Structure 1
Amino acid sequence: MTQALYRTNFSDFDEFINWYPEESEYHYELHNGVVTQMPKPRGQHSQIAGFLIAELSLKIRHLGLPYFIPKKCIVKTDNLSGYEPDVIVVNRDFIRNEPPWEKESTLINRLVAL
């Protein structure tokens, strides 16, 4: 079950990041400036996320790829939206171009064609 926490809009994604609680039993997503409270993975959802992390980590290591799976991060999809994914694979080479990564564990969603 999801629950909108605020009806008033944040002015931008940075305001959401400054508001985001460090220790919470919930994840929070920002959609068009409105914060939505999301439950953290539990039960089967948590089991599947853990399985994916383990399998992806093994494959990344086996292939020697420059990727990692952060424990926590927030993905900025546009100036008024962002979310905390259950699992995400990040290219270490691209993280150098993400200034907010070291301070906020924030990634800006960009499509990359290889």
Structure 2
Amino acid sequence: MTQALPQLMNLDEFLDWYPNGEGRYELIDGLIVEMQPTGQHSEVSGFIDARFSVEIECLKLPYFIPRDCVVKPIDTNRSGYQPDVIVLDETTIDDDPLWEPRSTITQGRSVRLIVEVVSTNWRDDYLKKLADYEALGIPEYWVVDYAALGASRYTGQPKQPTLSLFTLVDGEYQVSQFHQSDPILSPTFPEIHLTAEQVFTASRPAPTN
């Protein structure tokens, strides 16, 4: 008995298929993956988005945060990622050929920073996307593991909520990790006053008894 293999999509087919306003999806190695974030996941990504927006507005930085954006890896036409937060550069975005027609990024210099908030598919954030964003030349990449879902080699022993900040140095990512009350040191937003714990909890006050 034979079983039909799933039909693999390329990125153009995925973008043509993508339903407007109905859920969020990524293309991973030719397969459509529905993104189903939890409530806390959405709170954390929304909090980061808001804090970045304040920095951009107050400092009048030439950046913006799009509502929708697909990032195409450099060496494949069968994947397209939708970061939880992405900060784009107004000064270079017009040179990216797929931005205007398809809200798609193909060049690392279009991007200042990407944030992925870890879900159960943590391997994608720590391994696959990390390698693809590095190859693309994304200068700064945050992996926000607020629930310590990743393996202990990423979140410590014992495991604890960890914000891993990858900075591109000579074409390779160098990582700094932040926990609890550690102040986050971001090359893109050097003046931001934010601790790891504020990000993990989306700045919510601790519950009282």
* Paired amino acid for 2:82: E
Per the alignment, residue 52 of structure 1 pairs with 48
How much has 1:103 moved relative to structure 2?
Answer: 2.1
Q: How many residues align?
A: 106
- Deviation track 1:40-96 (CA, whole Å, cap 9, x = no partner) reads x44111111111111101112222211000111111123111121221100111211
Q: In 2, Cα distance between the equivalents of 1:30 and 1:57?
A: 27
In structure 2, list runs of 5 or more residues that go unmatched. 109-136, 140-167, 169-209
| Divergent runs of 4+, >3 A | none
| Correspondences of 1:29-108 after superposition (within 5 Å) | 29-39=26-36, 41-77=37-73, 78-108=76-106
Change (3 A) 1:105 1:70: same
Contact 2:98 / 2:105 at 8 angstroms: preserved in 1? Answer: yes
In structure 1, list runs of 5 or more residues that go unmatched. 1-5
* RMSD, aligned α-carbons: 2.0
Tell me the SS of whatever aligns to 2:32: strand
* Paired amino acid for 1:36: V
How much has 1:99 moved relative to structure 2?
Answer: 2.2
Larger radius of gyration, structure 1 or 2? Answer: 2
Q: In 2, Cα distance between the equivalents of 1:58 and 1:36?
A: 31
Report the TM-score, using the length of structure 1 for normalisation: 0.80
Q: In 2, Cα distance between the equivalents of 1:88 and 1:32?
A: 21
How much has 1:17 moved relative to structure 2?
Answer: 0.8
